[in-house]
Structure 1
Amino acid sequence: MAGLSIWHVLIFAIVVILLFGTSKLKNLGKDVGGAVKDFKKSMKEEEQQASQTQAARTIDADVNVAENTLKH
């Protein structure tokens, strides 16, 4: 049988727990979760900043068109 069976995964999990201990694995899980949360937060902030920049450019372009129309 090719691939991993449930027994292979179970034995691997037991070995990892014995090597690192549950407290280290718990801390690792917290660290990874925090990193993912920070990454999502920074992506959301970047998207908001990009949309604000695009809105400002649109307003500037509208103002320039209005000024050029009034000049002529």
Structure 2
Amino acid sequence: MSVGPWQIILIVLIILLLFGKGKISSFMADLGKGMKAFK
């Protein structure tokens, strides 16, 4: 089963609705730090 662009957009919208903008931005910052630490 391949994931199309519409599925990705739908998943992102659901995540935004569930978590809200504040948690997303802090999560992305933590993810960025984690990626740098991993490298």
Q: TM-score, normalised by structure 1?
A: 0.44
| Deviation >4 Å, runs of 4+ | none
Q: Taking every aligned residue pair, what percent have the same amino acid on both sides? A: 23
Alignment RMSD: 2.0
The structure with the largest helix share of the pair is: 1
Give per-residue Cα distances to partners, 1:14-72, cap 9 Å, x unaligned: 000000011101001112223344x26xx8xxxxxxxxxxxxxxxxxxxxxxxxxxxxx
**Which structure has the larger Rg?**
1
Aligned length: 39
What 5-or-longer segments of structure 2 have no aligned partner?
none
- Larger RCO (CA under 8 A, 6+ residues apart): 2
What 5-or-longer segments of structure 1 have no aligned partner?
44-72
